[in-house]
Structure 1
Amino acid sequence: MENLEKTLDGYAKLCVEVGINLQKGQPLVINSPIEGLEFVRLVAKHAYALGAKQVHVNWNDEALTKMKYENAPMEVFENFPKWYADGLEEFAEDGAGFLSIYSEDPELLKEIDPKKIAAHNKSSSMTLKEFRKYTMNDINAWCVVSIPTKGWAKRVFSHVSEDEAMKKLWEAIFKATRMDLENPVKSWEDHLKNLEEKVKFLNEKRFKKLYYRSSNGTDLEVELPEGHIWAGGGGKNSKGVYFVANMPTEEVFTMPLKTGVNGVVYSTKPLNYGGNLIDNFKLTFKNGKVVDFEAEQGYEVLKDLLALDEGAKHLGEVALVPYDSPISQSNIIFLNTLFDENASCHFALGKAYPTNIEGGEKMTDEELEKAGVNDSLTHVDFMVGSKDLSIIGKTKGGEKVQIFENGNWDLLGILIYQILTLI
């Protein structure tokens, strides 16, 4: 690929300077597949150039992961190592930034006993619960990015050679992260400002309920809690440093009231969950809880996900993404949540971000529960956006506003509102 080396170096720099926004003296922890060796070295180079205290890398290898699932006994998956969680907590307490490179083969564990996968997901979530408070509460800067791996690339571009698939996926990632533009950093600054305008509009309206309708059968009412906060683009960590948690990102998001979701919602893209695909599924909610579900593919995996704990049956995130977002316009199904969620409106089953409610990052678990904030060991995004999705917001005073029409922001309506607020 022409200029790959130069663009890759720029991408690594973007991850450190814009994603994590690494500060002098700050440690950086990277989670990466072994196929990302050269990229990680570039990230480390830029991190040290900014004055990083140290760069620590946790490597993973899909071949070894699959081998483990095929051969290790169940007790291995039921007992996640505490020393690993302790190490992450130690880095978090030292103010580290956390960069995760998410590039797994979406069907790596397709033939594996789903009970082993469910056991691992539960034990890892329980053991890492304390560490995840540092990221879920934005105490530490964190960022999720992707690079192509052979397994993932061939799943996305199965009709071409492995080399061609890698090339195509690199091109798609660079386009989605604005690395194909002349000045990626400036482009990101403009993009983040655009998202902030949407966030401001939603936070000023203080919608009480959102109504989702689509011709695929989606008919859902989502109540939002008192004091909910919309966010999008980036945020600030506990030291006031601005960072961007997802690259790419096209969403603005908040939390639903734990008990305030009613109706039916249909998925519109496959969900890659723990090396397995869940596709064409339907969830039925009553008083916030999933009371029925169907899935054409991955039914048992979805069943185990919902059974992880009580919170996994409730929603923790409501996210708005236009149907004509750049990632959606690529017409690529990435089979990777980082990308697919930024091509589609989505929800998340499981834990809500405490930062999505006023004072939430300082609340106790009991206070969050009382405020209607969902808690869980998991947080799994799934896509529901479609080209004819309609979303209507209703304020506490009964005013109804068309937020999304035909899958996209009703920009005219938002513009009129903004003009009226200036008069």
Structure 2
Amino acid sequence: MLTQTEIEKYAEVLLWALDVSRAEPLRAGNTVAVRWDMPALSLAEAVYANLHERGVHVAQRMKPTSTMEKTFYSSASRAQLEHQLPGEMELTRALDGSVYLLAPQSLTHLADVDPENLSTAARARKPLRDVLEEREQAGLFGWTLCMWPTEALAKSAGMSVDDYAREIARACYLNKADPVAEWRGVHARVKELRAWLDGLGAESFRVESEHVDLTVRLGELRRWLGVTGHNIPSFEIYVSPDWRGTQGVYYADQPSFRSGNYVRGVRLEFKDGRVVDAEAEQGGEFLRKQVAMDPGASRIGEFSLTDSRFSPIDRFMATTLFDENYGGTHGNCHLALGASYPGTYAGQQSELSTLLKDELGFNSSALHWDLVNTEAKTVTAHLRGGETRVIYENGQFRM
């Protein structure tokens, strides 16, 4: 497992990330929620201590155990699925930041639960996410999350817990003397790459690999983001495209653990921006019910690429947080079905109304599901004026 020194470094990295995710660093008097799974208690305590030292008010919340989740989603009435606890919206409207410490004790405990129950609960919680999104657009809120090693994660990834912990430490630079300095360096390099992508004048991107032939329209007033502080670790560079311009076939060769379900070999066919066919080698029924969750669940909200030179992650980790940042030999491409990221709007965040989002093709949904492809691929940008340019191949950007 992680040593006490690594835990303290992890907490420091998370506070750096939370500051980066906000318009301004945290200050005394701000309110931050720390939510953790039970195995991550020692990290929660370290994060709490750091926030408390900075004069921040902390709302501490332990998340339900896997047994609690199974009980809830298996037997809850519709009223229970849709219920919002008293004070939850009030707290949400007061938050300046959130830290999520993920440490799942099971990855497949909801496999026999009706997916509609999961969808009902997700739709009921969307108003809370909308409030946080609005606060983030106004520069009032930021968030970050990370992973804690557990038996369930390690077993699903084919590792011991100690080996899994070492992979976390390596990917988050906890084995370095000054992890925060390492992350500042990554942040600077990715910022240069984002500026290059923004300056290309691209209208669309075509992704081609053994099982993928997909075209994604960038859309108007877009900017690329990466190392925003939202995830630790994070090496991806991403954008929320105009969902209406998605055409072709996408395939996720990386398995996915989602809402207590295991899904493998996802194949999606898009026409006029919507999924018209969704198949999976395993978990197909769950996939199709997720895609039908709401009107936006069948459309994409994110398109992302990871450069293998940045990411030290080179093996399957059984969690999207790491797998969407896979470096390996060929890097990775991933797209997300569902909600878009308003932060990729290139104008003033305060002017990005719901109406403007719709006009620009920013997707809205209770779903956000990242699906990862690690095959060797070529990504070609189609530029304004009709020219084309290969921007990504052999796992690296061609800057």
TM-score (norm 1): 0.86
Aligned to 2:325: 342
**DSSP-derived class of the 2:94 partner:** helix
Aligned to 2:329: none
Q: Which amino acid counterpart does residue 218 of structure 1 have in structure 2?
A: V
Residue range with higher mean Cα deviation, 301-310 or 138-147? 138-147
Aligned to 2:22: none
Distance 2:90 2:62 in 1: 11
2:68 matches 1:83:
no
The Cα of 1:82 is off from its aligned counterpart by: 4.9
Match of 1:223 among 195, 217, 221: 217
Task: Give the RMSD, CA atoms, in angstroms.
Answer: 2.1
Aligned to 2:102: 102
Match of 1:36 among 40, 44, 56: 40
- Going from structure 1 to structure 2, the CA distance change for 1:378 and 1:141 (only over 3 Å counts) comes to same
**Poorly superposed stretches of 4+, deviation over 4 Å:** 135-138
- Going from structure 1 to structure 2, the CA distance change for 1:377 and 1:84 (only over 3 Å counts) comes to farther
Q: Which amino acid counterpart does residue 33 of structure 1 have in structure 2?
A: D
**DSSP-derived class of the 1:398 partner:** coil
Aligned to 1:363: 352
Distance 2:138 2:274 in 1: 24
* Unaligned ranges ≥5, structure 2: 20-24, 327-331
The Cα of 1:59 is off from its aligned counterpart by: 3.1
Q: Deviations over 1:371-407 (max 9, x none)?
A: 2221222222111232x11001111112222111123
Question: Structure 1 vs Structure 2: percent identity of aligned residues?
Answer: 24
Alignment map for 1:165-176 (pairs within 5 Å): 165-176=160-171
Residue range with higher mean Cα deviation, 100-109 or 136-145? 136-145
**DSSP-derived class of the 1:290 partner:** strand
- Going from structure 1 to structure 2, the CA distance change for 1:16 and 1:220 (only over 3 Å counts) comes to same
Task: Report the count of equivalent residues.
Answer: 387
The Cα of 1:338 is off from its aligned counterpart by: 0.9
- Going from structure 1 to structure 2, the CA distance change for 1:317 and 1:204 (only over 3 Å counts) comes to same
The Cα of 1:266 is off from its aligned counterpart by: 0.6
- Going from structure 1 to structure 2, the CA distance change for 1:301 and 1:323 (only over 3 Å counts) comes to farther
Distance 2:56 2:362 in 1: 36
Q: Which amino acid counterpart does residue 304 of structure 1 have in structure 2?
A: K
- Going from structure 1 to structure 2, the CA distance change for 1:136 and 1:281 (only over 3 Å counts) comes to farther
Contact 2:115/2:290, CA 8 A, preserved across alignment: no
Alignment map for 1:98-247 (pairs within 5 Å): 98-104=98-104, 105-126=106-127, 128-135=129-136, 139-157=140-158, 165-215=160-210, 217-234=211-228, 244-247=229-232
The Cα of 1:325 is off from its aligned counterpart by: 5.1
Q: Which amino acid counterpart does residue 196 of structure 1 have in structure 2?
A: K
- Going from structure 1 to structure 2, the CA distance change for 1:366 and 1:382 (only over 3 Å counts) comes to same
- Going from structure 1 to structure 2, the CA distance change for 1:136 and 1:252 (only over 3 Å counts) comes to farther
The Cα of 1:183 is off from its aligned counterpart by: 1.9
The Cα of 1:290 is off from its aligned counterpart by: 0.6
- Going from structure 1 to structure 2, the CA distance change for 1:214 and 1:138 (only over 3 Å counts) comes to farther
Contact 1:85/1:131, CA 8 A, preserved across alignment: no
TM-score (norm 2): 0.91
Distance 2:319 2:91 in 1: 24
**DSSP-derived class of the 1:201 partner:** helix
**DSSP-derived class of the 2:89 partner:** helix
* Unaligned ranges ≥5, structure 1: 159-164, 235-243, 415-423
The Cα of 1:264 is off from its aligned counterpart by: 0.5
